Structure 1
């Protein structure tokens, strides 16, 4: 028997429940993993509350990122063997698979070899954030060394991954944060500059940093009233990648600014990259190389025990973390 986490109704962290189940042998195209660590993501809390981009079918499992050891493989799986250390990449529906468990099934198409230099906790923290920023910057924005990139919500795990990858390419990451509390941490994490949006004029600061040109790339998970300021701060003909909706207020911007700035506004999700086998492979190879060189590094804010999963979700939703929240199983 294995403990897994399910919920029978949408709501707050308290709806998460432990269930004892017998995890079956993997079928075609599947592997079974003895989980050592889990990475927590905003997508999972949105899934739990019924506010995700996909409709949840109750009762439901959840979880995208796990690191552990394979203890069984499906009859047609040849890339992996029992005993292999592996991680899961978000490339499946949580209506089909959920990684929150002591033992779980996973589609082999979403499984990668464990980076040998990382702990299980570190490996459980990397794939959602680094595949997301790889797809956004390398595939969609075609990031170049002379680009300036604005990164709202920069202290999130994806925001910190964005800073690292922008630096890896040789471009300039400008971190946006609401208060000055995390300013020094963001500079220490590699931000070339930090703009405290509650205290500074965002547009004026960007224009000062770019000598009036504006930022070519904006990587925004917030939306809401600040969207108009981001567009004003852009270079003419730049690209804005919207990958989240943290603000529950309507997006506000001027149509005149669209005519002045001529931005490309793109809705982006990790599925653009992870859902395509060729693109996923390229992303994994790029990220693995970055990890090996030290250009890309896990940033873990706090580790919880598996029994503390409800508390871990409460901590996730408090929005005070700097980096990834991980659960040790």
Structure 2
């Protein structure tokens, strides 16, 4: 039996329940993994509230790290006893132990702790596909990155700096702006006190940015477009303020802008892609180019408190659940 967090209805943090569930043996293409730590992400709150509807009852959680206990038929890239970490399209990471598809599970280098592994997989692999798989970026390019003090944002600031890409961040306070700057952002705009569109134009001498990476959604979409240079791309990869709806494509004609709405699990749909992406992320962390800052840690049984802190924007960096 494994202590596991589930929801039986959509709603606030109060719907999160900790129950004991049986853990079986892995079938073909599966592994059984005992977790040491689990990651916490905004997508978990979207599923809990029903913004991303789920078939109920359902477990929650998309990333964790631990020890492989058994492998099913056909699994050759992992073996029992391996240190491993994952970001998965299949929910269920908020648990002591689980059986799951093996494709997105990768070996965790000895130099990276279980806590770091659990905190970095979904966010770090998101940054990897934003910078390397969505649109070509090179040294000297300029990126506007919203929520630059958050978990994804802090990794993005460091990643951009390591590749010679100028990153302009936004955040909701001077303190959070300082976090982004300390992480490697070249500039950070406090959107509570400044018009970020005007400030971006000022920073870029009216040229605009090559790419906007926007996880906020509805409240920033049109302003983000106004920050682009002609032929620039808006990557909308989250919905923190609600989903973008009712878009008139004619607004893109102003600068022949490009817009995409990617997801991580499209990019890492097979084991080869997952390994390639993870290898690049691990190399960044092991080299010291990217440091994983775990700023909040909650026990598994305190998951509701963790969700409240995340939704109230009281967190910075990465948040984990300890098992």
- Compute the TM-score of the two structures, normalised by the length of structure 1: 0.93
Which whole-Å deviations, capped at 9, do the CAs of 1:111-160 have from their partners, x for residues lacking one?
A: 11112112211110111111111112211121111111001111221111
Find the aligned partners of 1:11 and 1:323 in 2 and give their Cα distance.
Answer: 25
Match of 1:260 in 2: 254
Matching of residue 171 in structure 1 with residue 165 in structure 2: yes
After TM superposition, give the deviation of residue 241 of structure 1 in Å. 0.1
Deviations 1:69-105 (A, max 9, x none): 1112213322222211111222x333xxx11111111
CA distance in 2, matches of 1:298, 1:154: 14
Aligned-residue Cα RMSD (Å) equals: 1.9
Q: For the residues of structure 2 that align with 1:304 and 1:201, how far apart are their CA atoms?
A: 35
What is the alpha-carbon distance in structure 2 between the residues aligned to residue 103 and residue 249 of structure 1?
A: 33
8 Å CA contact 1:232–1:261 kept in 2: the answer is no
Q: Cα deviation per residue 1:180-219 (whole Å; 9 max; x = unaligned)?
A: 2312221111110011112123222212211221100100
- Cα distance in 1 for residues equivalent to 2:232 and 2:34: 45
- Once the two structures are superposed, the pairs formed by residues 49-60 of structure 1 within 5 Å of their partners are 49-52=49-52, 55-60=53-58
8 Å contact kept, 2:139–2:163: yes
The match for 2:79 is 81
Q: Find the aligned partners of 1:276 and 1:67 in 2 and give their Cα distance.
A: 19
Determine the C-alpha separation between the residues in 2 that align with 1:273 and 1:246: 21
Q: Taking structure 1 as reference, are residues 241 and 82 closer, same or farther at Cα in structure 2, changes over 3 Å only? A: same
Partner residue, 2:34: 34
Residue 117 of structure 1 corresponds to 111
Q: Find the counterpart in structure 1 of residue 13 from structure 2.
A: 13
CA distance in 2, matches of 1:77, 1:226: 43
* 1:72 correspondence with 2:66: no
How far apart are 1:304 and its partner, in Å?
0.8
Q: Which residue of 2 aligns with 1:100?
A: 94
Q: Please tell me whether the aligned partners of residues 103 and 274 of structure 2 are also in contact (alpha carbons under 8 angstroms).
A: no
Contact 1:229 1:253 in 2 (8 A): no
Any idea what SS the aligned residue of 1:224 has?
A: coil
CA contact 2:149–2:180 (8 Å) conserved in 1 = yes
Alignment of 1:104-183 (within 5 A): 104-183=98-177
State the distance in 1 between where 2:221 and 2:172 align. Answer: 14
Distance 1:82 1:259 in 2: 54
- Distance in 1 between the 2:244 and 2:263 partners? 20
Query: Where does the alignment leave 5 or more consecutive residues of structure 2 unmatched?
Result: none
Counterparts in 2 of 1:249 and 1:6: CA distance versus 1, 3 Å: closer
Structure 1 unmatched ranges of 5 or more: none
TM-score (norm 2): 0.94
Q: Shift of the alpha carbon at 1:17?
A: 1.2
Q: Cα gap change, 1:2/1:155 in structure 2, threshold over 3 Å: closer, same or farther? A: same
**Counterpart in the other structure of 1:25:** 25
The CA deviation at 1:2 is: 1.7
Between the aligned partners of 2:7 and 2:315, the Cα distance in structure 1 is 25
